[in-house]
Amino acid sequence: IVFEAARLGRLIGDLLDLSRLEEPQAVPEELVDLSASARRVIEDARVDGRVKSIELNVEISGGVFVKGDESQMTVLIRNLVENGIRYTLEGGRVSVDVYQDGGNAIVRVSDSGIGIPLEAQARVFERFYRVDRARSRDRGGTGLGLAIVKHVAELHGGEVRLESELGRGSIFTARIPAVPPPQQRILSAG
């Protein structure tokens, strides 16, 4: 009962996140420190990783900024990291990289998890789609996390891509247009 109540709580939270994303004014134009957002998400995720004895490798470059909504970007990172941990078997590995590549901020989460069959990869970003409904339900997924990730990335002018091999793991890469850090913005304005 406790597990199901927690799953329903996550479902309600995900539905609220998704409904907020569909509002016309969904993306404020604030400066978001993606590096700091990722560090906060990682601190929370370390507990879940330890419970499953998952090796969490983190490489976060400083000064990676985007323009948009900080809470939405945090949800994007959290959903990718939580999925990596959720679908990686005990003793596996999840890597989180946040860096700037040219004009884009990159959030890359790779895992040594169960992987996604090729025929399901095109659908994983659909609302309520689950590759294996029974296994996803057992792991506490709502079927909305990756739909939210895709929506957030697109609202911020970006995209999310997936590379996966069944039994070998997955790599999710979100690419969002980057903006210069605050000190560079001041120097370039003068």
CA pair distance 126, 163, nearest whole angstrom: 16
Provide CATH code, domain 2-189: 3.30.565.10
Report yes or no: 20 and 152 within 8 Å, Cβ to Cβ.
no
pLDDT at res. 137 = 47
Q: Where are the domains of the chain?
A: 2-189
pLDDT at res. 162 = 97
pLDDT at res. 183 = 75
Query: Which pLDDT tens digit goes with each residue over 63-75?
Result: 999 999 898 899 9
Ranges in the chain, pLDDT < 70: 1-27, 128, 132-142, 184-190
pLDDT at res. 18 = 59
Helix H or strand E segment including 47: helix 34-51
pLDDT at res. 73 = 94
Half-sphere exposure of 173 (CA within 13 A, CB side): 12
CA pair distance 52, 138, nearest whole angstrom: 15
From 91, 80, 47, select the one nearest 161 (Cα to Cα).
80
Q: For the stretch 83-108, what's the b/e string if a residue is b when 16 or more beta carbons lie within 10 angstroms of its beta carbon? A: bbbbbbeeebbbbbbbbbeeebbbbb
